[in-house]
Amino acid sequence: MLKFIAFFRRFRVFLVFMILQILALSSFFSVMSFPRTKFFNSSAAITGTLLSWERNIIKYIYLDEANERLQAQNIELEKRIPDNFISVDAKTAIINDTIQKLSFERTPATVINSSHSFTNNYFTINAGSLKGVERKMGVVSSHGIVGIVYDVSRHFAIVKSVLTSDINISAYIDGTDAYGIIKYDGDDPRRVKLTGISNDIVIKKGSPVNARGRGGYFPQGEPIGVVENLEPIEGKPMWDITVRLNQDMRKLRYVYIIKNINQLELEELERGIEQLQ
């Protein structure tokens, strides 16, 4: 015991120094651990944010490519739906696909320029005569009808938008035999008018409005919008019907050009009717 006391007395300065040093280092590391942890946490958060930005940029760069692939896949799927086919001969039994023809073909395209704030609006697509696009072909989106091809060059086409006062698309209200003409009055790019329907016909709000197929521009039943409001026109036995478009024309980007395989036959037949009149 005496030796221990003597040892402590001899090295007391050194021992006190070591104890103080240990206490100081312990205090330092305990104080600095929080900033260190915050640093590593902040670094992880910044890295995660940068990686998210990178993924979003890559997704944006390849968005057009992905949508083009999706459009092509949609067309292939539509070809497999029996309702989209017509037989060459109604009396002939269907043995394989070679005895059927698609009544309508769809060519995908992208809108590269458009307007929606005028009485007569147009948009430009990146598909022209080299892809088989011709004047008077119908144009639709995945939501419904958007216009009719007005003019064509080799690589591009100008489409007369459904937001045009003289486009005259024949349409009917689902669940009724009532049909009329789609008209745009220039007030609201989300809405058009359906004219020519007598007010003695019962029309329900929310009823779907579809293409009648007149003129062969669109398949019969192609969606246009829904009946949003209707009021009797003063002094006329007609409804004033407001149709809310399925497709917001302000956000239009990806479309399909409709080719009616039997369009020439239809036009020749209807031309004969005009001569009789």
* Residue 89 falls inside a structural domain: no
Lowest mean pLDDT among 36-45, 49-58, 212-221, 250-259: 36-45
**Could you tell me the two tokens for 68?**
């083009």
Q: 3-state secondary structure string, 144-182?
A: CEEEEEEEECCCCEEEEEEEECCCCEEEEECCCCCEEEE
pLDDT in tens, 146-197: 999 999 999 999 999 999 988 889 999 998 878 999 999 988 999 999 999 9
* Residue 12 falls inside a structural domain: no
The domain tally of the chain equals: 1
* Residue 3 falls inside a structural domain: no
CATH code assigned at 182: 2.40.10.340
With a cut of 90, say whether residue 263 has pLDDT above it: no
DSSP 187: S
Q: Domain range spanning residue 50?
A: 39-76+105-260
> Which band of pLDDT confidence, cut at 50, 70 and 90, is reported for residue 139?
very high
pLDDT in tens, 200-228: 999 999 999 999 987 778 888 999 999 99
Lowest mean pLDDT among 44-58, 64-78, 100-114: 44-58
With a cut of 70, say whether residue 45 has pLDDT above it: no
With a cut of 90, say whether residue 255 has pLDDT above it: yes
> Which band of pLDDT confidence, cut at 50, 70 and 90, is reported for residue 104?
confident
Instruction: Give the pLDDT of residue 160.
Output: 96
* Residue 269 falls inside a structural domain: no
Number of Cβ within 10 Å of residue 216's Cβ equals 22
* Residue 272 falls inside a structural domain: no
The dihedral of CA 42, 45, 51, 55: what is its sign?
negative
CA dist 139 to 77, 93, 127, 170, 228, Å?
19, 33, 12, 14, 23
pTM score, whole prediction:
0.67
Tell me the mean pLDDT in the region 112-135: 93
Contact, 195 vs 183, CB < 8 A?
Answer: yes
* Residue 52 falls inside a structural domain: yes
**Would you list the DSSP string of 92-121?**
S---SGGGEEESEEEEEEEEEEE--SSSEE
* Residue 96 falls inside a structural domain: no
SS3 content of the chain, % helix, strand, coil (to 5): 40, 30, 30
Given phi > 0 = left and psi -120 to 50 = alpha, else beta, which region is 57?
Answer: alpha
Instruction: Give the pLDDT of residue 215.
Output: 77
* Residue 53 falls inside a structural domain: yes
Contact, 116 vs 160, CB < 8 A?
Answer: no
